[in-house]
Amino acid sequence: MPRVLISDKLSPAAIAIFERRGIEVDFKPGLAPAELRAIIGEYDGLAIRSATKVTREVLEVAPRLRVVGRAGIGVDNVDVTSATARGVVVMNTPYGNAITTAEHAIAMMFALARQIPEASASTKAGKWEKNRFMGVELFAKTLGLIGCGNIGSIVADRAVGLKMKVVAFDPFLSEKRALELGVEKVELEELLVRADFVTLHTPLIEQTRNILNRETIAKLRRGARIINCARGGLVDEVALHEALVSGQIAGAALDVFEEEPATANPLFALENVVCTPHLGAATAEAQENVALQVADQMADFLLSGAVSNAINMPSVSAEEAPRLKPYMELARHLGALVGQLTASGDDAIRVIRIEYEGHAAELNRKPLTAAALAGVLTPLMGAVNMVNAPVVARERGIDVAETIHERTGEYHTLIRLTVVTDAQTRSVEGTLVAADKPRLVSIKGIAVEADFAPHMLYVTNHDKPGFIGRFGTALADAGVNIATFHLGRASEGGDAICLVSLDAPLPEGVLATVRTLPLVVQAKDLSF
């Protein structure tokens, strides 16, 4: 039974889903990093929000971990590169808290415009300072959106409803989408000089870190106001502090901070700053949404291999997962066969070509290709899976080519895998029989039909009388029982292949004996 750890404060809905789906779940919010490292090794899945930091150090001590599920959007608290390298899927819930967060940004904009927090504190203190709190209208003001994705678009929609003029800077926003949203697409420079309010809605990545810095803040209209409900780190807090003190910026509303939890930030001392403790996603509705979604996505993956909303892996829908499963097994086995044959040489792989024919060509091929790559690369470099295989291949400069063909041969479905090294090119082909059983149908162009078995012996030999008898005797002398025996040859008297499945791993020394037999060219033990 898979085990999942919930290490942040998730709605109990998530626990209920995991339990209902037969997954053992531990709810331990607020673990210190050392406490997390001490127990993470026992889990297949980790469900988090923004508090848990899934660092390389955590991943290094998590050999069982297959999936990190982020109940929310931002995954900047997860070392996705390390997770990918270790074959751990990272998934998020990209829409569940978007409306809630957009509403918080709008609330923060009103709070700034009318100084609601200060006015509330003053009124509660019995001061009735009616003349102190003079606000500004939002009507007809210009709102500058930095980032116009899910949340930015919802903010734009609400702001248009408030009769604001909305300009957006987002390199990936199309003119068509901008038109649909009723926003004007502009460059950052133009946004800075036009906006009365600026609101940030981008992920925190290298290109967006400190996007509002001393230089860009100086270009803003004097008296502009800034709202950040995306990530601390998008706004340089030192530069913001200076601009708030100098009056260049009239006010800032911050839900997120460079360092969180933020308990002693110099910005807190400024009157024209409104702060909330990363509450963007904190509504009952959003927390229910993201908890349900993350638990279902993680359960789907752990139980059936379905992948949705993964940051580092192609999607596989719940309907596709059972159909793809036997194909993934076929692709991985074919890969494992060529990988093991290639592993004996020391020449580098240049190209891995995967060809899909017939029914296989109609499927979602990305996960199949990833499975084939994982199969090829594991014997060469250990523990490569579908998550990290494409990255490992790319890092090693391997050219991965995917081709589809109409059905041409005798098989209704076929995967052909070719691995090209400096020294040689090896091709294997496989199909599915009885709907879902992987079967090898050729090696290096020689037809040889065999099912994959945990322990196999692969021999190439000259097709001459005498080989089979001597080979059988050698195995019998070593007490090795042959489970199945498959033969193929290129032509009469030419190159031949013998593939044997065994009931147990080959005993020590038998391979060396087989290699000395007359007519044997090479022998290799294989495992699947």
Ligand X SMILES: O=C(O)C(=O)COP(=O)(O)O
Q: Annotated catalytic sites, by residue?
A: 231, 260, 278
Query: By C-beta, is 294 or 443 nearer to ligand X?
Result: 294
Footprint (CB under 6 A) of ligand NAI, residues 138-177: 146-152, 169-172
Under the binding rule (CB under 6 A), the answer on residue 101 touching ligand NAI is yes
Question: 3-state DSSP call for residue 329?
Answer: helix
**Using an 8 Å Cβ cutoff, are 33 and 53 in contact?**
yes
Query: By C-beta, is 151 or 414 nearer to ligand X?
Result: 151
Binding range to ligand NAI, per CB under 6 A, among 132-140, 196-204, 442-450, 462-470 = 196-204
**What span, in angstroms and rounded, lies between the C-alpha atoms of 223 and 256?**
22
Radius of gyration of the chain measured on its C-alpha atoms: 30
Name the residue with tokens 């190439």. 460
Binding range to ligand NAI, per CB under 6 A, among 202-210, 262-270, 355-363, 460-468 = 202-210
Under the binding rule (CB under 6 A), the answer on residue 233 touching ligand NAI is no
Query: By C-beta, is 312 or 385 nearer to ligand NAI?
Result: 312
Query: By C-beta, is 231 or 241 nearer to ligand NAI?
Result: 231
Tally of helices (H runs) and strands (E runs) in the chain: 17, 22
Query: By C-beta, is 148 or 448 nearer to ligand NAI?
Result: 148
Under the binding rule (CB under 6 A), the answer on residue 50 touching ligand X is yes
Distance of CA 69 to the CA centre of its chain: 10
Structure tokens at 72: 């929310």
- Report the nearest approach of ligand X to the CB of residue 336 (Å): 39
**What span, in angstroms and rounded, lies between the C-alpha atoms of 44 and 70?**
15
- Report the nearest approach of ligand X to the CB of residue 266 (Å): 23
Measured from each CB, the residue nearest to ligand NAI is: 149
- Report the nearest approach of ligand NAI to the CB of residue 461 (Å): 58
Binding range to ligand NAI, per CB under 6 A, among 17-25, 96-104, 381-389, 520-528 = 96-104
208 binds, among ligand NAI, ligand X, none (CB under 5 to 8 A by kind): ligand NAI
- Bridge partners (DSSP) of residue 502 are 455, 482
Query: By C-beta, is 243 or 286 nearer to ligand X?
Result: 286
**What span, in angstroms and rounded, lies between the C-alpha atoms of 437 and 505?**
22
Under the binding rule (CB under 6 A), the answer on residue 11 touching ligand NAI is no
255 binds, among ligand NAI, ligand X, none (CB under 5 to 8 A by kind): ligand NAI
**Using an 8 Å Cβ cutoff, are 43 and 3 in contact?**
yes
Closest CA to 105 of 36, 236, 197: 197
Burial class (CB in 10 A: 0-12, 13-18, 19+), 298: buried
Footprint (CB under 6 A) of ligand X, residues 63-92: 72-74
**Cβ within 8 Å of residue 278, ≥6 positions away:** 50, 255, 256, 257, 260
Under the binding rule (CB under 6 A), the answer on residue 379 touching ligand X is no
Query: By C-beta, is 95 or 485 nearer to ligand X?
Result: 95
Under the binding rule (CB under 6 A), the answer on residue 278 touching ligand X is yes
Q: How far apart are the first and last CA of the chain?
A: 23
**Using an 8 Å Cβ cutoff, are 143 and 166 in contact?**
yes
**What span, in angstroms and rounded, lies between the C-alpha atoms of 331 and 340?**
14
Cis before 438? omega within 30: no
Number of residues located near ligand NAI, criterion CB under 6 A:
32
Among residues 43, 46, 49, 235, the one that binds ligand X under rule CB under 6 A: 49
Structure tokens at 121: 């504190």
178 binds, among ligand NAI, ligand X, none (CB under 5 to 8 A by kind): none
**Using an 8 Å Cβ cutoff, are 457 and 499 in contact?**
yes
Structure tokens at 396: 């090693």
Measured from each CB, the residue nearest to ligand X is: 72
49 binds, among ligand X, ligand NAI, none (CB under 5 to 8 A by kind): ligand X
Query: By C-beta, is 141 or 278 nearer to ligand X?
Result: 278
Residue 397 CA: distances (Å) to CA of 338, 348, 392, 477: 18, 10, 9, 45
Binding range to ligand NAI, per CB under 6 A, among 21-29, 95-103, 328-336, 360-368 = 95-103
Number of residues located near ligand X, criterion CB under 6 A:
10
98 binds, among ligand X, ligand NAI, none (CB under 5 to 8 A by kind): ligand NAI
Within 10 A of 189 (CB to CB), how many other CB atoms are there? Answer: 11
Q: Which helix (H) or strand (E) holds 168?
A: strand 165-169
Under the binding rule (CB under 6 A), the answer on residue 280 touching ligand X is yes
Under the binding rule (CB under 6 A), the answer on residue 254 touching ligand NAI is no
Burial class (CB in 10 A: 0-12, 13-18, 19+), 469: exposed
305 binds, among ligand X, ligand NAI, none (CB under 5 to 8 A by kind): none
DSSP state of 230: S
Binding site for ligand NAI (CB under 6 A): 72-74, 94, 97-98, 101, 146-152, 169-172, 201-204, 207-208, 229-231, 255-256, 278, 280-281
Binding site for ligand X (CB under 6 A): 49-50, 72-74, 97, 278, 280-282
